[in-house]
A and B are shown apart, each in its own frame.
Chain A
């Protein structure tokens, strides 16, 4: 008598890079010598699940059925990795062997890794998977309780469970309850450095405001101890908080890299990189499809400290993502892309001793030494920087007033201006575009730049104020300045101010 294979179907999801794919897990049990095989291009972390399942079943009071157990995971042509299929496989086996009642015609979504004790754990990439599963129609959605933060951020509805022992209650006892998930931002606080600490550095303050208001890339060069690193943290305080959509985008990548340790925060990400960074770390790992620092800085700030010390090849790799605002990874002929829509903030010393901008003639570097020091930051890279400001050490008097004056909250005022500017830009361009990120080349009409202003800018260009490539950059910066001043048309004054932020000394 030929036994009819009893196939159980459970859905799960699989994330690779920034994409996720819904997978179907089919379990078939047929009589014979007990075997356990997983098919569908699975790596050993999935195949090893036999051990976890066997032990977890035992701990939770189920048994591993005897006979040929074949588990197929489709789409079978994609390579899959990770332990997130454990729960779906366990459910499939339990349904197929009749240990749990499978309600007819029901679609089940499940994910999570099992421990030997039968408890359920979250796996990296939950945010990406749940975003995919959220929009699909399932009757049962089961996820590990520890993924509730990711579920909350993505707006996923379902039931969080702690272990296999809850399953019989859900299916046999019919206690499935679909709920939305609550999440708590880890350290929701307004603890950033206030911009009033940049005493006596009016140019830098203004540059930071413009940078935040228009999402312009910015380069700060100055003496050691002039507060360059501080300026980086101030900039993050000027940016508006993430909206829920953005939060899920940002968090899904952070979660992919940091796993359970990742913190949920509405503050925009600030990724600090140093001169020792490798190209791989910057653009991401093509093998594991883990995002690099550029992708992680999406919607936030990529903060490169000590820029003149970087290897020039690293800066060359930054160029394309700064222009296209995307980074691509190639894996087995497939292109995976991450958004890299960030403010690039570079800081560094202007020369070897760093004192070039100080009062008097403290700097003893020769013209040649300065050129040599700055030569690593090449021209094409500088073309992508919109704002430049010099910084120098704070005078003693200003230093004292920093500690005595209680002028907190200047950053909050600036943030209000920035929020207003963003709103204006969104209305003007539609979508999430800002003055610096608006993709179109011909910006004259859309940015409302009158003829006489363009003429003035070209006059500046003729006098050698900036290059042809710098021309549109200046216009964009001027547009942001006009937004800050709440004027509808860009004026000559705005261009004149923007011209002061052009890059010099290279």
Chain B
């Protein structure tokens, strides 16, 4: 049995090497399996069958025969590459999972176009647990606003504590935040990389990578050692959407890879939740347009949990598993509105001298809820001289209410 599985592993490596290094496509494979020449892709390592295909012994498309015979020419190279993959995988304890294995994610089984073979590193048990534990894709801008980052942190923690796994792409910004917030929760986190699982991309996210490695899972459809190329990213987004029960768009500009993930999720029949944002904030327009097109509004984690629960329920019906999943109502934090801000704004215009520093701070905070502003803007809004505004800003920065980034102040929502 052990020997057998080792041989299967080699066949999987061979398959990956072949897909990357020859002209053989999914269409070729489909032709071969449809005509019952081979039972599964694993048989392709057999040079005898390959030769027979190339010699037109079967009734196959001409295209298929040409591609197989071309592949046959570089057969030895491909075997060599496959062996190298195997070495890297052994050295880095990278596991291979194929669609013929039991461990293959249930969520992918029902979708077309998912990889036959993928690689993973870390807590492999997560793949099994997402089937009935539920999983949510959290994606968004690489340079998010403080607001989106805060929401990501809060919601990912809440979902994670409910046992839902957070799936994301380990990019900067929202992805990074989603992983960090969920890695130590009950649900855990899965990062889907565009390159090989041993290839940390972006390299600056090594800290997150290590974090996920110790307590989460990293997967990729690319073999070990493969560089993340530009064209792999859309495919990666497809996997993220496919692996999860619903997708959260935290913040997306008008031209954004995040929108790809959303459209994959929608085409796979999954629910898409979009964090509502300020309509004047340009970096959130893509997400808002999704809302306009009928996306769900992400108000709190409850609606997401409901959606995941529904999806899990269907899966359980199909699988015939009786285990109950418990979802309790999370306590909602009532956001207490302090003093009436309208009154303050009126006072600031008519009688600015009666306002205290704390009143002014409220006015500044109120102005910043709309969008990040620079100090000069705040001078104009409050009609205060700069030295006064600067003093207030330093105090707000000191207690962590606002922070400055790229020359603009924004709320930290703490």
**B204 CB-CB contact with A under 8 Å:** yes
**B374 CB-CB contact with A under 8 Å:** yes
Chain B 354-381, CB within 8 Å of chain A: the 1/0 string? 0000000000000000010011100110
| Shortest Cβ distance from residue B223 to the other chain A in the assembled complex, whole angstroms | 27
**A141 CB-CB contact with B under 8 Å:** no
Query: Residues of A contacting B374 with CB < 8 Å?
Result: 203, 357, 390, 392
B390 in contact with A459 (CB, 8 Å): no
**CB-CB under 8 A for A499 and B394, given A203-B375, A357-B407, A392-B407:** yes
B172 in contact with A367 (CB, 8 Å): yes
* Closest B residue by C-beta to A362: B282
**CB-CB under 8 A for A205 and B282, given A361-B253, A463-B398:** no
| Shortest Cβ distance from residue A375 to the other chain B in the assembled complex, whole angstroms | 14
Query: Residues of B contacting A350 with CB < 8 Å?
Result: 406-407
**CB-CB under 8 A for A390 and B391, given A367-B143, A459-B398:** no
A360 in contact with B386 (CB, 8 Å): no
Chain A 480-506, CB within 8 Å of chain B: the 1/0 string? 010001000000010011011100110
Q: How far is the CA of A496 from the CA of B395 in the complex (A)?
A: 7
| Shortest Cβ distance from residue B94 to the other chain A in the assembled complex, whole angstroms | 27
Query: Count the A residues whose beta carbon is within 8 Å of the partner chain — how many?
Result: 33
In the complex, number of A-B residue pairs with CB atoms less than 8 Å apart: 82
| Shortest Cβ distance from residue B380 to the other chain A in the assembled complex, whole angstroms | 7
| Shortest Cβ distance from residue A486 to the other chain B in the assembled complex, whole angstroms | 13
**B393 CB-CB contact with A under 8 Å:** yes
A500 in contact with B394 (CB, 8 Å): yes
**B385 CB-CB contact with A under 8 Å:** yes
| Shortest Cβ distance from residue A387 to the other chain B in the assembled complex, whole angstroms | 12
| Shortest Cβ distance from residue B277 to the other chain A in the assembled complex, whole angstroms | 12
A200 in contact with B386 (CB, 8 Å): no
**B335 CB-CB contact with A under 8 Å:** no
* Closest B residue by C-beta to A199: B376
CB within 8 A of B391: which of A361, A497, A505? A497
**B302 CB-CB contact with A under 8 Å:** no
A357 in contact with B375 (CB, 8 Å): no
Query: Residues of B contacting A204 with CB < 8 Å?
Result: 376
**A460 CB-CB contact with B under 8 Å:** yes
Q: How far is the CA of A234 from the CA of B191 in the complex (A)?
A: 53
CB within 8 A of B386: which of A203, A366, A499, A505? A203
Q: How far is the CA of A134 from the CA of B163 in the complex (A)?
A: 90
A497 in contact with B387 (CB, 8 Å): yes
B398 in contact with A368 (CB, 8 Å): no
| Shortest Cβ distance from residue B107 to the other chain A in the assembled complex, whole angstroms | 32
**B397 CB-CB contact with A under 8 Å:** yes
Query: Residues of A contacting B391 with CB < 8 Å?
Result: 493, 496-497
| Shortest Cβ distance from residue B53 to the other chain A in the assembled complex, whole angstroms | 47
**CB-CB under 8 A for A368 and B204, given A202-B385, A361-B283:** yes
* Closest B residue by C-beta to A351: B406
Tell which of B142, B380, B394 has the most Cβ of chain A within 10 Å: B394
**B412 CB-CB contact with A under 8 Å:** no
Q: How far is the CA of A314 from the CA of B172 in the complex (A)?
A: 34
B406 in contact with A500 (CB, 8 Å): no
Query: Residues of B contacting A368 with CB < 8 Å?
Result: 202, 204
Chain B 123-152, CB within 8 Å of chain A: the 1/0 string? 000000000000000000011000000000
Chain A 347-379, CB within 8 Å of chain B: the 1/0 string? 000100000110011110011100000000000
Query: Residues of B contacting A356 with CB < 8 Å?
Result: 406-407
CB under 8 Å from chain B, chain A span 200-243: 200-206
| Shortest Cβ distance from residue A213 to the other chain B in the assembled complex, whole angstroms | 13
**A465 CB-CB contact with B under 8 Å:** yes
B404 in contact with A504 (CB, 8 Å): yes
CB within 8 A of B393: which of A360, A390, A500? A500
| Shortest Cβ distance from residue A483 to the other chain B in the assembled complex, whole angstroms | 13
| Shortest Cβ distance from residue A349 to the other chain B in the assembled complex, whole angstroms | 12
Q: How far is the CA of A499 from the CA of B391 in the complex (A)?
A: 8
| Shortest Cβ distance from residue A230 to the other chain B in the assembled complex, whole angstroms | 16
Query: Residues of B contacting A360 with CB < 8 Å?
Result: 281-283, 371
Q: How far is the CA of A367 from the CA of B203 in the complex (A)?
A: 13
**B310 CB-CB contact with A under 8 Å:** no
A202 in contact with B142 (CB, 8 Å): no
Query: Residues of B contacting A504 with CB < 8 Å?
Result: 404
Q: How far is the CA of A321 from the CA of B407 in the complex (A)?
A: 30
Query: Residues of A contacting B397 with CB < 8 Å?
Result: 465, 499
A460 in contact with B142 (CB, 8 Å): no
CB under 8 Å from chain A, chain B span 239-261: 253
B387 in contact with A206 (CB, 8 Å): yes
* Closest B residue by C-beta to A367: B172
**B408 CB-CB contact with A under 8 Å:** yes
Q: How far is the CA of A368 from the CA of B201 in the complex (A)?
A: 13
Query: Residues of A contacting B407 with CB < 8 Å?
Result: 350, 356-357, 390, 392, 505
| Shortest Cβ distance from residue A396 to the other chain B in the assembled complex, whole angstroms | 14
| Shortest Cβ distance from residue B164 to the other chain A in the assembled complex, whole angstroms | 30
Q: How far is the CA of A201 from the CA of B223 in the complex (A)?
A: 54
CB within 8 A of A357: which of B143, B172, B406? B406
Q: How far is the CA of A205 from the CA of B375 in the complex (A)?
A: 12
B404 in contact with A203 (CB, 8 Å): no
* Closest B residue by C-beta to A389: B375
| Shortest Cβ distance from residue B245 to the other chain A in the assembled complex, whole angstroms | 31
Query: Residues of B contacting A460 with CB < 8 Å?
Result: 394, 398
A505 in contact with B406 (CB, 8 Å): yes
| Shortest Cβ distance from residue B389 to the other chain A in the assembled complex, whole angstroms | 8
Q: How far is the CA of A460 from the CA of B394 in the complex (A)?
A: 9
A-B contacts, 11 of them at CB < 8 A, read A200-B376, A357-B408, A361-B143, A361-B282, A368-B204, A392-B376, A392-B407, A485-B387, A496-B391, A500-B394, A505-B406
16 extra A-B contacts, CB within 8 A, seeds A362-B282, A367-B172: A201-B376, A202-B375, A206-B387, A360-B371, A367-B143, A392-B376, A392-B407, A460-B398, A465-B394, A465-B398, A493-B387, A496-B390, A497-B390, A499-B394, A500-B394, A505-B406
Nearest first, the 6 A-B pairs at minimum CB distance are A357-B407, A500-B390, A390-B407, A496-B394, A202-B386, A496-B391
Interface residues of chain A, those whose CB is within 8 Å of chain B, are 200-206, 350, 356-357, 360-363, 366-368, 390, 392, 459-460, 463, 465, 481, 485, 493, 496-497, 499-501, 504-505
